[in-house]
Amino acid sequence: MLVTRITPVALAMIALAAHTGGAQAAAQPDAAAVYKQLSMFVYPAKGQTAEKQKKDEKECYAWAKDQTGFDPLTAAAPNADSAGKAAKDQTAQATQGAAVKGAAKGAAAGALIGAAAGDAGKGAAIGAAAGGVGGRKGKKDAEKQAAAAGGNAAVAESNQKVDTFKKAASTCLEGRGYTLNK
């Protein structure tokens, strides 16, 4: 079972995509709305007019987009399920034959124990069965862990891109005399 955490940033990206119909809003994004969705609150600390603030927000949005190569309006929400499935599939290929290897190890250990008890063949058979089950369980556990890690990595990468965009936009706005929440 893949367990992922949807962060507020991912939810904001989904809301932004729904708000814009999933399409880029021509060349005139409503920067104030994007900043609000990203929990960025801009205050005109030096008495800037509403028109000046709107212009500055738009220009800083464009600057942040250029600096980071990321546009929160057009970014797709992270697909943790796909990333998790890809990681699980890759792990499944890498651990192919785990049950056979487990059976071989179990047979060897069982033969030693069986020899000490007087029946090496019976011990090897019991050890092979136990080792095969253990190897299969280990493979399934590794696949589950890989799926969860892959999904979490996709969400973390998306969050990092949004955080970098927010830092760039904040830098621009602060440089123009606005106060932002931190």
DSSP per residue, the chain: -------HHHHHHHHHHHHTTTS--TT---HHHHHHHTT--EE-TT---HHHHHHHHHHHHHHHHHHHS--TTTPPPP-HHHHHHHHHHHHHHHTTTHHHHHHHHHHHHHHHHHHHHT-HHHHHHHHHHHHHHHHHHHHHHHHHHHHHHHHHHHHHHHHHHHHHHHHHHHHHHHHTT-EE--
**50 compared with 94, residue with greater pLDDT:** 50
Mean pLDDT of 108-135: 58
Domain ranges of the chain: 8-180
- pLDDT band of 77, cuts 50, 70, 90: confident
- pLDDT band of 135, cuts 50, 70, 90: low
| Residue 35: per-residue pLDDT | 94
Mean pLDDT of 107-115: 55
Indicate the range of 73-82, 86-95, 106-115 predicted with least confidence: 106-115
Mean pLDDT of 17-25: 47
pTM of the model: 0.56
- pLDDT band of 3, cuts 50, 70, 90: very low
